[in-house]
Amino acid sequence: MPNEFVRERIIDGIKVTLPEPPSRKDIMNSSLPVKKQKFTPPVVPSDKEFNEWSAEARRSFLVEEFEKRKNGVFFYNNGGIEYITGIHYFYLSYWRGEGVGLPEFRDSDRDFFYCWDAAEHDDNCYGLAYFTNRRSGKTMLSTNILYEFASRTKEVHCGIQSQTNRDGKNVFRKIVFSWKKLPSFWKPTDSGDKNPKETLRFEEPSTRSSKGDTKTYKNVLDSLIDYASSSETAYDGFKLSRYYCDEFGKFTEGDAYARWNIVKPCLRVGIRIIGKAIFTTTVEELEKGGGQSAYDIYLDSDPTDLGSDGRTRSGLWRLFKPSYYGFEGFINEYGYSQIEKAKKALLAEREGLEGKELAALTRKYPFNIKEAFQSSTTTNVFPVYKIIQQREFNEETKPVVRKGNFIWEDRENFKVSFKDDPNGKWEVSWLPDENNRNKFEMSRGIPNPLNTHMGAFGVDPFDHRTTVDEKRYSKGAMAGFRKYDPINPKNSNCFFLKYLERPPKETILYDDVAKTCVFYGMQVLPENNKPGIINWMLDNGFKNYIQRTKQSDYSKSTSRNYIYGVSMTGEMVREIAVGGLESYIYDFIGQITPDIQRTKFGIPERDIRPDMYGNCPFDDMLSDWEKFDSGKWTIYDMTVACMISKLAVTPVRNKQVNNEKEHKLSLTSFFKTHKIWLYLCKYLKINYLC
């Protein structure tokens, strides 16, 4: 009976008051048997059919539908009374999505629209921050909210932002798709663009008649829906009536909370709120940036914790939907969630998992907000979300990587060439131009590489022909890193070479390393705990291709002992190596944040690119970083080689490896510059050619 309908409800802390149900005869489905009572969208005529109706029939249909769109609908659903808001009715009856058609009634969506309606009508609320599991339809819900409002309200601006410019464009494209599928009577007069790319404008078309006159329109809304770049200041200074922030928990450029603090004034006049915002996200990792900001927004959006102004600290109300509520596959024919069955199925998926695999699945399908924000329980050393971003970027852009082999053309004269080979051992994304290949000078009968200013190689070698663990042979790994070159920024400050092999003899690996160094004219920094490669290179004339490091005697601050390669056994050097690669991944892998573009690359504010990505085209290198566990150092050969190559190009290390001769030359140059070096040498009675 109508008086059994619960009007006062609390949904995740949000108080909802629903309208009074009408009499039984005025509730949809009242004449149907209980089993057949469910929500069914209206039968909508095609534009051609609608135009063939009489004027009175058209008017009657539109008045009835607009009333439902405005005030909502009561209907019987399997014997119980349900109410859906006007926006929800429009969503179920008209808002078609790509590949899914019209949505079906879901109790979880019903509650979402209840909370949105409450937020929309509260003078002290800026809108909702909606936290939910993956594939919950949150984008379709939100785009419906923007369009429904903009298509019936005059002179309003509805804006969209997402985690990236590309994602924002994709959200806008979904609105355009749904708009195209609408019947013409729900399409206000627009600018005439049949496939808008950036802005959907409800204004007079610019098309002129054959006489050159502009047709006049009495009823135009002059409203628009657009999307902006993902920068924090994209909407700064605009007046917004509706704002959609998509995937704010996955931000990698800028800060979601900082962006909100800029957008918030766009939704008010003075202290009066005149616009509403909808934030949606799935939170899968509490990394620095997006996840932490999303958590801060969640904490500051508690609808039960209001200040003296009647508002939460963020101004938003939070709403969390557990994954088992509205979980696809566990919803009955009337749209009600089969919660216990869904819980059982989701828990079954977790069985047998542990560590980061369990944490990742739990974050994707959380039962509570704690699970949504939990960090991995195992050692994720490097920021996985940055690595995933880079991998997705590689899949989209298809960077060029050449596979082949380095071949001795003339070993006596230290000349090597690169031959493309689909079965080759090397993968390279950059080769120096012809003039810079095999570049060296002879010094005391030994070749000295001349491209050490460009970059260096790191090598994690092997010495023995068998390993303790026959299930996983240790491989020889080599990574090349090129230093930043402002003349060629695209192919610098990046890893450009990957080698991961286990030849039948370790001497083949050593020769492969030597060929690579000779071709590029660069040095290699090998891990010297396995001295075989160092001894071989010393014995075969490649002494100057080995980078040296300072062997400090900690009891003497003046110690100047140098060794070939670097020892990776100590905790301190490992911490430095891991930290160096970690910092590089945060800054230069995946999306490059505006802050890094400004501070590291010196890019002017006007040239900041919201879609700037790092350069690492080797997907198996990225995968090795993603899996790296500092507790199992020895099985991640590629990652270790990358860390060593980063050590090799670190400015401090480059300064350390300068030999004493170079140091003396720099002093001599200083004294020559000041024209006192000769007098000083004579006074000290030393050879002035020192």
CA-to-CA distance for 516 and 481, rounded, in angstroms?
13
Estimate the crossing angle of helix 677-684 against helix 660-673, to 10 degrees: 120
Token digits of residue 415: 């000349």
Measured CA distances, 24 to 30, 73, 79, 557 (Å): 7, 13, 12, 92
219-228 pLDDT tens trace = 899 999 999 9
263-310 pLDDT tens trace = 999 999 999 999 999 999 886 554 444 567 888 899 899 999 999 999
Judged against a pLDDT cut of 90, whether residue 383 lies above it is answered with no
452-480 pLDDT tens trace = 999 999 999 875 544 433 334 578 899 99
CATH number of this structure's domain 396-658: 3.30.420.240
Predicted pLDDT of residue 518? 97
Predicted pLDDT of residue 375? 53
Q: H helices of 229-383, where?
A: 256-263, 290-299, 339-350, 355-364, 369-373
Tell me what the mean pLDDT of segment 520-526 comes to.
Answer: 95
Q: What's the CATH number of domain 2-207+217-320, 3.40.50.300, 3.90.600.10, 3.90.650.10, 3.60.9.10?
A: 3.40.50.300
Predicted pLDDT of residue 667? 41
Token digits of residue 43: 């039968």
Tell me what the mean pLDDT of segment 573-577 comes to.
Answer: 89
Residue, of 230 and 516, whose pLDDT is higher: 516
Judged against a pLDDT cut of 80, whether residue 684 lies above it is answered with no
What share of the chain has pLDDT > 90, as a percent? 61
Report for 256-265, 282-291, 648-657, 662-671: range of highest mean pLDDT: 256-265
Closest residue by Cα to residue 281 from 312, 318, 315: 318
Chain centroid to CA 519: 36
Contacts of 628 (CB under 8 A, 6+ apart): 381, 382, 636, 639
Judged against a pLDDT cut of 90, whether residue 16 lies above it is answered with yes
Band of residue 256 on the pLDDT scale cut at 50, 70, 90:
confident
Predicted pLDDT of residue 355? 60
Predicted pLDDT of residue 490? 79
Predicted pLDDT of residue 668? 41
pTM, entire model: 0.57
Predicted pLDDT of residue 321? 95
Tell me what the mean pLDDT of segment 339-360 comes to.
Answer: 84
Mean pLDDT of the chain: 86
Judged against a pLDDT cut of 90, whether residue 567 lies above it is answered with no
Judged against a pLDDT cut of 90, whether residue 544 lies above it is answered with yes
Predicted pLDDT of residue 105? 97
CA-to-CA distance for 142 and 246, rounded, in angstroms?
9
Judged against a pLDDT cut of 90, whether residue 85 lies above it is answered with yes
Measured CA distances, 395 to 49, 193, 399, 431, 617 (Å): 46, 32, 8, 22, 9
Amino acid at 102: L
Judged against a pLDDT cut of 60, whether residue 662 lies above it is answered with no
Tell me what the mean pLDDT of segment 175-183 comes to.
Answer: 97
406-441 pLDDT tens trace = 999 999 899 999 999 999 999 999 999 999 999 999
CA-to-CA distance for 690 and 668, rounded, in angstroms?
8
Q: Of 80-89, 108-117, 179-188, 662-671, give the lowest mean pLDDT range.
A: 662-671
Predicted pLDDT of residue 286? 46
Judged against a pLDDT cut of 90, whether residue 53 lies above it is answered with yes
Band of residue 529 on the pLDDT scale cut at 50, 70, 90:
confident
Amino acid at 414: F
Band of residue 209 on the pLDDT scale cut at 50, 70, 90:
very low
Tell me what the mean pLDDT of segment 228-250 comes to.
Answer: 91
Predicted pLDDT of residue 570? 78
Judged against a pLDDT cut of 50, whether residue 688 lies above it is answered with no
Predicted pLDDT of residue 326? 95
Tell me what the mean pLDDT of segment 585-609 comes to.
Answer: 90
Predicted pLDDT of residue 248? 87
Residue, of 88 and 387, whose pLDDT is higher: 88
Chain centroid to CA 682: 65
Residue, of 300 and 659, whose pLDDT is higher: 300
Dihedral in degrees, nearest 10, Cα atoms 417, 420, 422, 426: 40
Tell me what the mean pLDDT of segment 343-364 comes to.
Answer: 82
Predicted pLDDT of residue 669? 43
Band of residue 482 on the pLDDT scale cut at 50, 70, 90:
very high
Band of residue 541 on the pLDDT scale cut at 50, 70, 90:
very high
Judged against a pLDDT cut of 70, whether residue 596 lies above it is answered with yes
Place of tokens 């230093």: 483
CA-to-CA distance for 458 and 480, rounded, in angstroms?
7
Hey, where are the domains in the chain?
A: 2-207+217-320, 396-658, 659-690
Predicted pLDDT of residue 690? 34
Judged against a pLDDT cut of 70, whether residue 217 lies above it is answered with no
Predicted pLDDT of residue 610? 81
57-79 pLDDT tens trace = 999 999 999 999 999 999 999 99
Band of residue 330 on the pLDDT scale cut at 50, 70, 90:
very high
Predicted pLDDT of residue 556? 43
Residue, of 657 and 256, whose pLDDT is higher: 256
What share of the chain has pLDDT > 70, as a percent? 85
Tell me what the mean pLDDT of segment 157-167 comes to.
Answer: 92
Q: Within 10 Å of residue 583's Cβ, how many Cβ atoms?
A: 12
Contact in structure between 338 and 332 (CB atoms under 8 Å):
yes
CA-to-CA distance for 90 and 84, rounded, in angstroms?
10
Predicted pLDDT of residue 630? 76
Judged against a pLDDT cut of 50, whether residue 655 lies above it is answered with no
Q: Is 36 exposed, middle or buried (CB count within 10 Å of its CB: 0-12, 13-18, 19+)?
A: exposed
